[in-house]
Amino acid sequence: MTAPGIALVEARLVAQPGDVRFLPEVERDHLIISTIQIDGNWIIRSQYGDDIWQLTGGTTNFRANRKRMDFTQVPAPYRTVVKEAMYRYLMRGRDGSVKPSTLTAVSAFKHINAFLHHLNSLKLKHLGAVTPLVCSTYVAACRSEKVKRRKRKKPLSAGELAKRFQAVELLYEMSQFTATPIPTHPWPDSSANHLAGSTGAAQNRRSRTPLIPDEAFTTLFQEAYALMKRGDELLSIRDQLDALEEENIVLPGRAIKDLKNRHLKDIGWQRGLRTFNMALIDLRTACYIIVASLSGCRNHELVYVQTDACYRTEDDDGEVYWWMRSQSDKTGAGKAEWMVPEAAVEALQIMDRWAAPYQAVIAAEIAQRRAADPQDPEIAEAQKHARAVFLSNGQQNSKQVRTLSNSASGLKLKAFAKRCGLTWDLATHQFRRKFANYAARSQFGDLRYLREHFKHWSQDMTNDGYALNESQEMELYAEIWDELEAIKFGLAEQWLSPNEPLAGGYGKNLMDWRSRQENIAVFKDHKTMVASVAASHAIRSNGHAWCTADDNQCIGNTLEKTRCSGCDNAVIGRVHARMYQGLYSDLKQLRHSDDIGPGGQARVQRDLERCRDVLMSLGCDPEENAA
């Protein structure tokens, strides 16, 4: 394979037509499909005439075999026309859209192929025979198809149906640039989304991401954190075993394994080499959980993380902020940074050490390939993974090392959760939603766990100084804000429930306001009223009340907690009753102290009355529950 100069390759790409209808076969088969750069030289990766198009680009959390189009898998009658259609799609994209990403194009090819196999089963020999009636039989077949999911056969999800039907629409559109176009739209009076049942609010993917329950999340994080803390110890043992193997390299594999097992027993590890190796894999999973939980990174952003990814900055007040460098392809952001607490930094430092032997394998592979063929395209592929830290061996016991794939990450997470005794169906994308939820809740002071790790999210997100780094992944802030709005809506809905007792000056005003029919009649419905109240109030928690003031300068937020009982900005709910009951009991005992003086006695009496007022307003008898 030759390595033409950059200018030559670019000139050929620019000169290539948007479709191949009028090209001679020889010229068509030499069209460039994909290129890759090795040491400054451009290598043609795939050409039109190849049976398999190996595409380049795409995130590193998908294996190379997920980035190819294998036309030998397409029914023979359609191979020529599908190549024509997919070439058009890759070169120009759909009408009104940008060109597809590698993964989008390969996914479309897969779903188009499913439709073509259906046509082949109907004995149709060309796309010109495809009619809306034929397409309706495909819709019916997909709706009746069942796939195995969690050990049970279930119908295809609305999302999967939508992808299949969208692929048919795509094929129709692209076929207009081929020799045998589909004559009419697959479903003239409908759409892929409508046929799949995925129209309306159901399309909001984020809302469908399940929120990991606090109890499950706490168990998961604590187990991961405990294992991460043992990381250096485990890696030191691994280094000892590696040194032992190096010293006895001439011995057969079985003998080396016996030596390692003996060494493990000698140092107190009684569970054998296999279990130790599993513990090392679990260590990688534990570090993944910690960083994903504390950064909000998507899976592909996390596995892009490379060695020495963290650095620190310090503001004028001496406050230290840690930053993690990576990359985001979701919105084309490219290089990006995330603010993380020290626990995430510690986990990544463990991963730097964990990954070193795997990185050495990649370096050796690159050297071997370069010695054999300096223009081997696999050199560029290996270089993409050379400094990554979340690495793994290839599939089927392959010695090749690559970035941990999305599917492998998911399987390891599920296995780790199961070993923690959890029944929650854990998935990679759930950490981002949980992070956004925790970061939002940190403003409301209701975090029972990880409070220290989330302290850097406790400031008001409307503060102009909130974004401290222009390289931050800003879309994450929008998701945190969505969670914040959802929490505020739920709180306002609770406040406006007719039978919900409230205390505090503003709480009593709210109870009075919600009881007046003329106020409620202003709004179209109850949901609109709740949304209006949530949107029009600044709401923050100080631990003993919800404060609706524009700032948090009031002394009631800190030194004089009982002031909230009568404050016009404070709402106190049943969730705060235990705190006021405890304070009431403590004050009752303090009232009998002889060493606090008249001023102290007066203050104790005042605070007792304030606590009593709050508890009575919430329907609690302070004397009945007093210690």
pLDDT of residue 324: 93
One-letter amino acid identity for 224? A
Tokens at 58, concatenated: 């795409």
One-letter amino acid identity for 370? R
Pick from 550, 553, 614: nearest CA to 580: 614
Query: Distance of alpha carbon 380 from its chain centroid, rounded?
Result: 27
Are 385 and 401 a contacting pair, CB within 8 Å?
yes
- Backbone phi, psi, residue 34, to 5°: -150, 150
Tokens at 258, concatenated: 């016996």
Are 433 and 299 a contacting pair, CB within 8 Å?
no
Pick from 37, 21, 95, 104: nearest CA to 69: 104
Tell me which fold the domain 214-444 belongs to. hpI Integrase; Chain A (1.10.443)
Pick from 41, 53, 44: nearest CA to 5: 41
pLDDT of residue 28: 94
Residue 470: which pLDDT band, with cuts at 50, 70 and 90?
low
Evaluate if residue 287 carries a pLDDT over 80.
yes
Does residue 320 or residue 298 have the better pLDDT? Answer: 298
Q: Could you give the CA distance from residue 408 to residue 209 in angstroms, rounded to a whole number?
A: 19
Give me the DSSP letters along 57-82.
-S-TTS-GGGSEEEGGGS-GGGHHHH
What H or E segment, with its residue span, contains residue 334? strand 334-340
Global confidence as pTM: 0.79
pLDDT of residue 517: 81
Evaluate if residue 446 carries a pLDDT over 60.
no
Q: Could you give the CA distance from residue 118 to residue 123 in angstroms, rounded to a whole number?
A: 9
Q: Where are the domains of the chain?
A: 6-203, 214-444, 496-625
pLDDT of residue 201: 44
Does residue 560 or residue 273 have the better pLDDT? Answer: 273
Residue 627: which pLDDT band, with cuts at 50, 70 and 90?
low
Residues 375, 381, 384, 388, Cα dihedral to 10°:
-130
Q: What is the pLDDT of residues 80-113, one digit of tens each?
A: 999 999 999 999 999 988 899 999 999 999 999 9
pLDDT of residue 443: 60
Are 549 and 540 a contacting pair, CB within 8 Å?
no
Burial of 16 (0-12, 13-18, 19+ CB in 10 A): middle
Evaluate if residue 461 carries a pLDDT over 50.
no
Evaluate if residue 199 carries a pLDDT over 90.
no
pLDDT of residue 106: 96
Evaluate if residue 230 carries a pLDDT over 80.
yes
| Pairing state between β 310-314 and 320-328 | antiparallel
pLDDT of residue 459: 44
Mean pLDDT of the chain, nearest integer? 87
Pick from 292, 283, 329, 288: nearest CA to 430: 292
pLDDT of residue 462: 39
pLDDT of residue 463: 40
Supply angle C-alpha 171, 174, 178, rounded to 5.
Answer: 110
Residues 610, 505, 451, 470, CA torsion sign: negative
Evaluate if residue 464 carries a pLDDT over 60.
no
